[in-house]
Amino acid sequence: MLKKNKMLVFLASIIVALLFSGCQGGTADEASGEAENNEDAVQLRVLHSFTGAQPQAPVIEPAFKEFDNNHKDIDLKIETAAGNTILEQLKTEMAADDAPDVFTHWGMRRTENYIKNGVIPDISGLIEEDNLKEQYREGAFGPVTYKGGIYGLPFQGYSYYFMINKKLFEEHNVKVPTTYEELKDAVVKFKEAGYIPFAANNHSARYMLLTWFAQKKNYEDLVAHSTAEKPFGDALLEAAQKADELAELGAFPEGYMNMATAQSLELFHAEQAPMFYQHSWTIGSIDPELLKNYQVIPFPLGDSESVPTTLAGTGHFIYMSKDAYEDPEKREAAWKLMNKIAGKEVGRQFVEKIANQTPLKVEYDVDKVNPVLNEVLKNIDRSENVLPSYEEELFASAVEGEYWPLTDSLLLQKIEPKEYVEQMNAIIEENPNVQFEK
Amino acid sequence: MIQQKRWILALFALPTLLFYTYFFISPVLNTFYISFFKWDGIGEKVFLFLGNYMELLKDPIFYSALAHTLYWVALVILVQIPVGFLLAYFIYQKVKAYKFLRTVYFIPVITSSVAVSLAFSFIYEAQFGILNSFLKLIGLDQFTTAWLTDPNTAMTAVSLPFVWNYIGLMMVILFSGLQSVPDELLEAGKMDGVNSWQKIAYIILPSIRNVLVICFVLGISYAFKQFDYVLLLTNGGPVHQTEVTGTYMYKQGFDESRYGYGNAIAITMMFIVIVFTAIVNKVLQSKE
């Protein structure tokens, strides 16, 4: 009986210990700084998404840790929500009126509601005071500029890049496409040879559509369409027809609609597909042993009126909450932290260590940079037209929920390209981008 | 004295009552209240009265999601409960190692839906998936497809993990019901010369009617609550073709920041489940 009781007590203590460890793990990483023991230290609660298998984690996580270690007067409580899960986490915290003091997020397309409701403060005064604008590339603040105010500091750039497996092109004697017609030929030839022409998911197909559209536009045109000042017309119709035609030709893998981006990259790695058009965050995930077979090429021109164009800009930003901004001590600490994450050193590491683009004007060692990123950057420099992507920067946040399924409907041939253009105009009419209003 | 004891008894019930009110009644009332507003979760609430419900009545995506949810309910009634019953009846026969089998059948119930979804995503994957590879291996290439994208297969493919997951639960509930069937009834049937089918239809099923009601109510409410398998396998896509009411409600609330509308969907779903449950109770009780 006594033995049984001891066993029960033992089991109960194990359960209690597990419960406590379960409650502690995963939520807050009480970053190891000496400030923990300093009662006067300013406490900052930080939320970011660059953890676990996220390609940016090897730079962002150590940067936070280093900041915490170097600032005895600031105590960071770091919380993480990997990848897109930060969307729900931040929404819940904002709705509960418990915003983190500092957090990372996308631009206006996902923070518009917070900006409109005043929970993210305008930091243009702080930026001017420190004369920070000069250290960033032109246009870097575009996605966080809203009705004349600036709401975040940029720290990650993006671009869409077209990569081919040159070995497969040579083996099958297929011409590397420079125009849409040549791309169609390549699709047909690879399809006949038993390949999936594009290692793509629905994001890639959307990026293609946006790029063909942008080849006939300039920045002012893009803004005019996104603000409903000018309706979409022939350029979007032609781009939609091209995407629709490629889908009909079987250019994309079976099940590409639900395919994760990393999965589509695996098709490219496995040499089941010779072409790949994706967001630049994937560069760091490319198998280095296969790099010798790969080549980055300019996106094929839609027609004779199209201009070589790369869609590129700034994708991620660091923000502080209004509550932090209104507390002078917290504001100072948060501003220091934001400057660290959106600073030149982190920017350099983004390029050299994790093959990601930076919106900062930084010098880096070209030899240390992933060869694909080097080619992507050269390709951007060569492009006559470098424009922001609609879905990264210019569509109002309410557009995304409707524009993605609408484009999927086009690719699944559920609607005609003409209907696509009409419905896009209706969506924009209902949710125009108002960030440029004063 | 008796009156005093009643007060003491009521005091004992008070903590549970408070707990229940705080964690169940008040969120339901709050959901109901917010469903009358247009609210993005942060800014001012704008009173719309029945505006969200009127919009819901005209929302084709909601109807399509509701139809998909009803398909899940149909799968519960036509597949999950019958298969659960067959398994329960099988182990009720006290076949060899029936205790082991009972555990094996129950394992999916205690497996996390994330793990189950991951396993099924490996099975369904269009390029390298187990199902398509197997079909190719046995020469049935023509039947390979993108299971989670093909409009003909997507809804069934995404619902199968749920059906499989809860069969074990139905089995355990029905097995406990089978154990309560009086031996005298079975003996009497045997003496009257009933065959196996007659035994099930005229003795066992009527005897476990109350247990069946529990299975139906649980199955229907689980089907309406389903959300995780869809979110993890397809996220309701492509183009809402696997959307169920649970995911649609979640997306309206968290993706679109339309908390009022999301709450209106939640209240409507609750109402539908209550109606369904009442019908099941009425139908099965009226036969008593």
pLDDT at A29 over 70: no
Nearest to A255 among B42, B149, B257 (CB): B149
* Residue of B41, B147, B239 lying closest to A405 (CB–CB): B239
Q: Identify which of A269, A348, A354 has the alpha carbon closest to the alpha carbon of residue A53.
A: A354
Give, in order, the Cα–Cα distances in Å from A353 to each of A48, A57, A80, A95, A288: 19, 11, 21, 36, 13
A373 and A278 Cβ atoms separated by less than 8 Å? no
Q: Is residue A390 part of a domain?
A: yes
- Which chain B residue shows the shortest CA-CA distance from A398? B256
Q: Nearest-CA distance from B259 to chain A in Å? A: 10
The answer to whether residue A223 sits within a structural domain is yes
Minimal C-alpha gap between A408 and chain B (Å): 6
Do A305 and A327 fall within a single domain? no
Give the model's pLDDT for residue A18.
Answer: 55
- In chain A, residues with a C-beta closer than 8 Å to the C-beta of B254 are 87-88, 91-92
| Same domain, yes or no: A400 and A289 | yes
A-chain residues near B256 (CB < 8 A): 398, 401
DSSP-derived 3-state class of residue A311: strand
Closest to A207 (Cα-Cα) out of A393, A390, A415, A432? A390
- Residue A414: list chain B partners with CB under 8 A: 239
- The verdict on residue A228 lying in a domain is yes
Q: Are residues A242 and A293 in the same domain?
A: yes
How many angstroms separate the CA atoms of B143 and B155, rounded?
17
A185 and A110, same domain (yes or no): no
The SS3 of residue A2 is helix
- For chain A, the average pLDDT equals 91
CB A108 within 8 A of CB A435: yes
Nearest to A257 among B42, B237, B255 (CB): B237
Place of tokens 């930003």: A317
Start-to-end CA span in chain B (Å): 42
Amino acid at B44: E
As a whole number of angstroms, the distance between CA B61 and CA A200 comes to 27
- A323, A352, A368 - which closes a domain: A368
Measured CA to CA, the distance from residue A106 to residue A161 in angstroms comes to: 20
**CA B203 – CA B213 distance, rounded (Å):** 17
Whether the predicted pLDDT of A31 surpasses 70? no
Q: Which of A95, A398, A405 sits opposite B42 (nearest CB)?
A: A95
Closest Cα in chain A, distance from residue B40 (Å): 8
Is A2 within the bounds of a domain?
no
* Cα angle: B111, vertex B114, B117; to 5 degrees: 95
Nearest CA in chain A to B129: A255
Share of chain A above pLDDT 70, in %: 91
Q: Are A229 and A126 part of one and the same domain?
A: no
pLDDT at position A131 over 90: yes
* CB spacing of B41 vs A94 below 8 angstroms: yes
Domain membership of residue A131 (yes or no) is yes
Per-residue pLDDT tens over the stretch A223-258: 999 999 999 999 999 999 999 999 999 999 998 998
Q: What is the C-alpha to C-alpha distance for residues B76 and B272, in angstroms, rounded to an integer?
A: 16
Cross-chain residue pair B233–A256, CB shorter than 8 Å: no
Q: Does a structural domain hold residue A7?
A: no
Residues A172 and A149 placed together within one structural domain of the fold: no
Is the predicted pLDDT of residue A26 greater than 50, yes or no? no
Specify burial of residue B45 (Cβ count, 10 A radius: 0-12, 13-18, 19+): middle
> Among residues A368, A391, A407, which one ends one of the domains?
A368
pLDDT for B10 equals 86
Residue written as tokens 């398509």? B132
Asked if A218 and A276 sit in the same domain, the reply is yes
Q: Closest Cα of chain A to B24: distance in Å?
A: 19
> A–B: how many Cβ contacts below 8 A?
72
Boundary (domain end) residue, out of A322, A337, A368? A368
List chain A residues with CB under 8 Å of B235: 258
Residue A196: closest CA among chain B residues belongs to which residue?
B127
We report the CATH number of the domain holding residue A256 as: 3.40.190.10
Residue A9 contacts B, CB cutoff 8 Å: no
Establish whether this prediction's ipTM goes over 0.90: no
Q: Could you give the 3-state DSSP secondary structure of residue A27? A: coil
Residues of A in contact with B127 (CB under 8 A): 196, 253-255, 267, 272
Number of structural domains (chain A) is: 2
B125: closest chain A residue by CA: A255
- B117: chain A residues, CB-CB within 8 Å: none
DSSP B24: I
Share of chain A above pLDDT 90, in %: 84
**A86 lies in the same domain as A185:** no
The set of long-range contacts for A285-294, using a CB threshold of 8 Å and a minimum separation of 24, is: A285/A55, A286/A355, A286/A370, A286/A372, A288/A370, A291/A370, A291/A371, A291/A372, A293/A165, A293/A166, A293/A167, A293/A168, A294/A163, A294/A164, A294/A165, A294/A166, A294/A372
- Is A179 strand, coil or helix? strand
**Taking every pair of C-alpha atoms in chain A, what is the biggest distance, in angstroms?**
90
In chain B, the domains with their CATH numbers are: 55-286 (1.10.3720.10)
Range of the domain at A112: 16-157+314-368
Task: Kindly state whether residues A260 and A142 are assigned to the same domain.
Answer: no
Tens of pLDDT along A293-314? 999 999 999 999 999 999 999 9
What residues are paired with A318 via a beta bridge? A104, A153
Token code pair at residue A338: 């934001």
Interface test with A, best of B120, B127, B136, B232 (most A CBs within 10 A): B127
Determine the pLDDT at residue B1.
58
A267 CB neighbours in chain B (<8 A) are: 127
User: Domain for residue A90, yes or no?
Assistant: yes
Contact A323, A99 (CB under 8 A): yes
Contact criterion met (CB below 8 Å) for A199 and A259: no
The pLDDT profile of chain B, 288 residues, written as one tens digit per residue, is 566 788 888 889 999 999 999 999 999 999 999 999 999 888 899 999 999 999 999 999 999 999 999 999 999 999 999 999 999 999 998 888 888 998 999 999 999 999 999 999 999 998 889 999 999 999 999 999 999 989 899 999 999 999 999 999 999 999 999 999 999 999 999 999 999 899 999 999 999 999 999 999 999 999 998 889 999 999 998 889 999 999 999 999 988 889 999 999 999 999 999 999 999 888 877 655
Question: Cα separation of A103 and A48, whole Å?
Answer: 6
The beta strand positions in A210-293, using DSSP E, are 275-279
Alpha-carbon distance of A108 to A142, in angstroms, equals 9
Residue A400 exposure: Cα atoms within 13 Å on the Cβ side: 21
Q: For A119-135, what is the mean pLDDT?
A: 95
Same domain, A44 and A186: no
Does residue A422 sit in the same domain as residue A355? no
A8 within domain boundaries: no
Question: Do residues A235 and A292 share a domain?
Answer: yes
A88 in reach of chain B (CB within 8 A):
yes
